[in-house]
Amino acid sequence: MRVDGHCACPSPDEYGATYLDADGKLLVREAEREQMERLVKKGFIRADAMEGRAYTADPKTDAHRATVDSYHIDSEAGLRLFVDALRAQMEHT
């Protein structure tokens, strides 16, 4: 199983997780805000691309929840492990 198809198979904590605050806003590192503001000023992206975001020094630490939107599963055994993990998670919610 690979998060977001990454061939080195890092943990979702290291790669691929999306961190959200309690209001469902995407948590983004403060440094990215500055990069996006420059891209908006240059006309490469629209200003509304920054909506729905909250900026923080450490999204992982400040997150209310984390999600992974994409997995790449290479084998039947990996699929079984994934399904079992989903079932276990559903039992706890």
pLDDT tens for each residue of the chain, 93 residues long:
888 878 888 888 888 899 999 999 999 999 889 899 999 999 999 999 889 999 999 999 999 999 998 888 989 999 999 999 999 988 986
Q: Are 76 and 25 in contact (CB under 8 A)?
A: no
Please state, in angstroms and rounded to a whole number, the distance separating the CA atoms of residues 71 and 52.
Answer: 24
pTM of the model: 0.71
My answer on whether 60 and 89 are in the same domain is no
My answer on whether 26 and 64 are in the same domain is yes
Residue with tokens 């977001």: 4
My answer on whether 58 and 87 are in the same domain is no
My answer on whether 23 and 61 are in the same domain is yes
Count structural domains, the chain. 2
Residue with tokens 């006309």: 43
My answer on whether 84 and 45 are in the same domain is no
My answer on whether 24 and 62 are in the same domain is yes
Q: H or E segment at 18?
A: strand 17-20
Domain residues for the domain of 87 are: 1-11+71-93
